[in-house]
Structure 1
Amino acid sequence: MGTSNIHIFHTNDLHSHLEQWPKIISLLNEKRKFYEEQGDKVLIFDIGDHADRFHPLTEATMGKANVELMNEVGYDGATIGNNEGITISKQALSNLYNHANFPILVANLFHLSGERPKWVKPYHLIKLSNELTVGVVGLTIPFRPFYKALGWSIEDPFEILPPLVKEVKEQADIVIFLSHLGLNFDEEVANQIAGIDVILGGHTHHVLENGMVINNTIIHQAGKFGRYVGQLSLSFDNNEHQISSYNAQCLVVDSYNPCTDTVETIRRISHTQQAVLDEEIISIEQPLTISWEKPSPFADLLATAIKEWCEGEIGMINSGLILDELLEGPVTKGDLHRVCPHPINPCKVELNGSLLKEIVHHALSEEMIHKKIRGFGFRGKVMGIMVFDGVTYEEKKLTDGLSHVYNIKVNGEKIQHDRVYQVATLDMFTFGHLFPTIAAAKVKQYYMPELLRDLLAWKLKKM
């Protein structure tokens, strides 16, 4: 019986950095050939967020170009990330993997009826030899309000996993968990749920150079943006039916030359999809200019659009969302994607006047205007000045160079501290530390699947 050597390669959080993809293909082809010629087993998985609508090719195809490129790899399985799960419509996600040549493993995704979608499996069994079967489970981060708004039900991983792992363990010698939950969740899973041999992680973009072990569970994750491919080599003792040793590493993708065939594939897909981005939405008579440091016509337009779309009393957006101006003349889908590439949805929150006043002061501080932002769906550089529709204020420059904001009014009336206002804004402000007051709001309504550029298109057509 002896020992079986298994080499697991995994990609995570590529976020459509397709410039890395030809090099990733070269790496995987070289490694697969090398180990298979030695008689070892090779498995390859993706842990989600391969697609990101910031890239024009992903935008034009709603992620199908990503799947076409993934088919070149020969993946043994993949799970989805939040970028696949909640930045496209339910119908688009349901059709995304129609032509995938690998199983999609998402054990916690259901229709609102409780039925599992036909295009996903909770787990997959891979028989490597007569002596060795690998069971692979997949789960994604449960952003419930967003999935619900799209017509999905997303379940708690800690409710799904224990019985599922038990079921898989009865059929497999090694259990691998594809986890788009983040490292903190992965550590919790390893501490709380027995029976998982390997967790291949994503979502939080950690680079675990040598992996880690918690309660005999090996955890590995390989960064973001295609900078690394994770490699986890296992020695499995067929007599003892357990992993006897492992070696984890993060392989630097830039050490490999691009695969010329893949470069040509990307060029071909881009050429065929350009017509989608070239579709004209409207022609404008005046340019829409943008400033990140003071109110400007383009930012004002977006603030008005989000207020009207969400039927709020106030529209509130940061000018850093708009990356470039629009010149007079035809405006295409590609133009709107270029100036507003973020996978960010509109939302509406309820805030009393006292909290709203606090937010206005905070948003207009020099620190916030020049704050560099990463994550939360934001694909720009800095926050930029906050622009409002429905809020006015006066501003006085102080001797120390700072500004004092006063005389804040809502739709022409002095702000009332106890009154609740309907504020239309960005979903990214409800996530975390940027505006804790908004994140803590008890009433939030998300508008899905439209992104901010969809609102811009809608508003421009109304002008």
Structure 2
Amino acid sequence: MKEIIHIYHTNDLHSHFENWPRIRDFLRKRKQWHKEAEDGVFLFDIGDHVDRWHPFSEGTLGKGNVELLNEAGFDAVTIGNNEGITFSYEELNDLYENAKFDVLLANLYTRDHKLPKWAKPYKIYETKSGCKIGVIGLTAHFAPFYKPLGWNIYSPMDQLSFWLKELAPQSDVIVLLSHLGIRDDEWIAGKFKEVDIILGAHTHHILHEGIEVNGTLLGAGGKHGNYVGHIILEIDAQTKRIASRKAQLYEQDRLPASVDEGHQVQAWHEKGQELLGGQVVYLESELEADWFLPSSLPQLLSDGILEWCEADCAFLNNGLLLEGLKKGDVTRYDIHRILPHPINPCVITLTGAEIKEVLKATRDEELHHLQVKGLGFRGKVMGGFTYSEVSFGKDIQHIYIRGELIDPHKTYKLATSDMFTFGHFFPELQRAEKHYFMPEFLRDVLIWKLNGRGSS
């Protein structure tokens, strides 16, 4: 005799709510359907459901996302880096206070090196036949970002090894909710034979029929709700061992449309706009933003992070500012609309020789027109660059900081956005000593500067 268990999984929605109504309705219907058939059924989300680029997530500080997961009937989630490092310590501690699901997270600890009150490292779910399914969650090891916020993030591999010693003897089947990325998932599959299924996220990979690595089944559903994953397990009711397994994905645009889904999506946006409606400043004149030409608003923001970070110089790419600001009242929603990125200010210590190479690279026209995806960037193109306390002479070899020619042996502090510290554009910034300002985003610095708290 065999028992059928269905596991549905989502990942990396990033607050793309345009796809959520039909995903929610599909999952609720499937869960009811399987329960009526007396099959086991579980719904898991693998992190980055929240993304503060959307006004609903920003206005509710992610709690609106939690309510959506509640409504859909999820059983457990793990967190992604967007839940973990885009909120303050207190905000993350409060995020899941109304959750009706388990938050499974084995490698994040509090300031006191204790497990958070809102999470547990694993949970064992028991099916009708008595099959015990152990589920454990792990998130990406972004130590340079978690530490300034007050969290202690531990190696996911070490924590998996530690908790499996406790979990494996109690479980018939082990499922890992992994917001680590495909390469780490493959490594885990090769290293930990106890793990039967890895549901992946973070690198937005798509595994249409899953893949098997060293006897472990890996599944993943891309990003933005484009897919819903489904694992079907056939369990021998006597031995409680997996007799067969299958992975598949459902494309969201082939799911049945939800009633009034357009109105639902619009309502979430309007709710966010309402929550962010408070005035932050009154502008006596318009502040323009141009992606490729010098303009007033990018200059104001660049000057703002220079002061905020107490740096020697600063630069930002103009593409960060999606639009300018008109004369009159400016609300939090207006600031969020033009600066939706969950990007933090950062100060980087460089030698004069290093900073000169970075500044020269910012003048590359091809870079200005590059379409950027990821790294927290939620805009279209890189755009040109705006500088503070940096000037260029008649040729690219003559670059000045605070009016003085760069000394190749001197140490300078450069303020910029954290998206440039990952090495994708400027390798020198990845290797250098850096300090991230957390939890403030660039939009917080802009509000601070607009209110005249920086120097004029």
Normalised by the size of structure 2, how large is the TM-score? Answer: 0.96
Match of 2:404 among 406, 413, 424: 413
Following superposition, the deviation at residue 294 of structure 1 comes to: 2.2
The one-letter code of the counterpart of 1:353 is G
| Aligned mates of 2:269, 2:371 — CA distance in 1 | 31
Percentage of identical aligned residues: 44
Distance 1:406 1:267 in 2: 51
For the residue of structure 1 that corresponds to 2:415, the secondary structure is: strand
The alpha carbon displacement at 1:460 in A equals 0.2
Taking the TM superposition and a 5 Å limit, the aligned residue runs for 1:129-208 are 129-208=128-207
> What's 1:453 paired with?
443
State the alpha-carbon separation in 1 of the partners of residues 279 and 235 from structure 2. Answer: 58
Secondary structure at the residue paired with 1:323? coil
How much does 1:194 deviate?
2.4
- Equivalent pair of 1:371/1:382 in contact (CA under 8 Å): yes
Q: Equivalents in 1 of 2:263, 2:166: separation in Å?
A: 43
- Which SS does the other structure have where 1:208 is aligned? strand
The amino acid across from 1:115 in the alignment is: K
Classify the secondary structure of the residue corresponding to 1:211.
strand
Matched letter for residue 7 of structure 1:
H
Once the two structures are TM-superposed, the CA of residue 263 in structure 1 deviates from its matched residue by 6.7
* Aligned 8 A contact 1:15 1:50 in 2: yes
Matched, 1:39 2:38: yes
- Inter-CA distance 49–311: structure 2 relative to 1 (3 Å threshold): same
Secondary structure at the aligned position of 1:260 is classed as coil
Amino acid in structure 2 at the alignment position of 1:419: K
Q: Which amino acid aligns with 1:413?
A: E
The SS at the match of 1:221 is strand
CA distance in 1, matches of 2:161, 2:193: 8
Cα deviation digits, residues 35-56 of structure 1 (max 9, x gap): 3333321111000000000001
Structure 1 unaligned blocks of 5 or more: 396-403
For the residue of structure 2 that corresponds to 1:229, the secondary structure is strand
CA shift, 1:274, in A, is: 3.7
| Structure 2 residue matching 1:35: 3-state secondary structure | helix
Q: State the secondary structure of the residue aligned to 1:30.
A: helix
5+ unaligned residues in a row in structure 2: which ranges?
none
Shift of the 15–263 alpha-carbon distance from structure 1 to 2, 3 Å rule, reads: same
Cα distance in structure 1, aligned partners of 2:250 and 2:369: 35
Q: CA RMSD in A?
A: 1.6
1:272 and 1:208 map into 2 onto residues whose CA distance is: 35
Asked whether the equivalents of residues 3 and 129 of structure 2 are also in contact (C-alpha less than 8 Å), the reply is no
8 Å Cα contact 2:28-2:73 kept in structure 1:
no
**Matched AA of 1:434:** F
- 2:304 corresponds in structure 1 to 305
Residues 406 and 292 of structure 1: is their aligned pair in 2 closer, same or farther, counting only changes over 3 Å? Answer: farther
CA distance in 2, matches of 1:272, 1:214: 44
Q: 1:448 to 1:131 in 2, by over 3 A?
A: same
Contact 1:355/1:437 (CA < 8 Å) preserved in 2? yes
Matched, 1:390 2:404: no
Distance 1:162 1:261, change over 3 A: farther
- Picking from 422, 428, 433, the partner of 2:413 is 422
Change (3 A) 1:122 1:219: same
The AA in structure 1 aligned to 2:408 is: H
1:303-349 CA-partner distances (Å, limit 9, x unpaired) = 10111001001111111100001111111100000111000000111
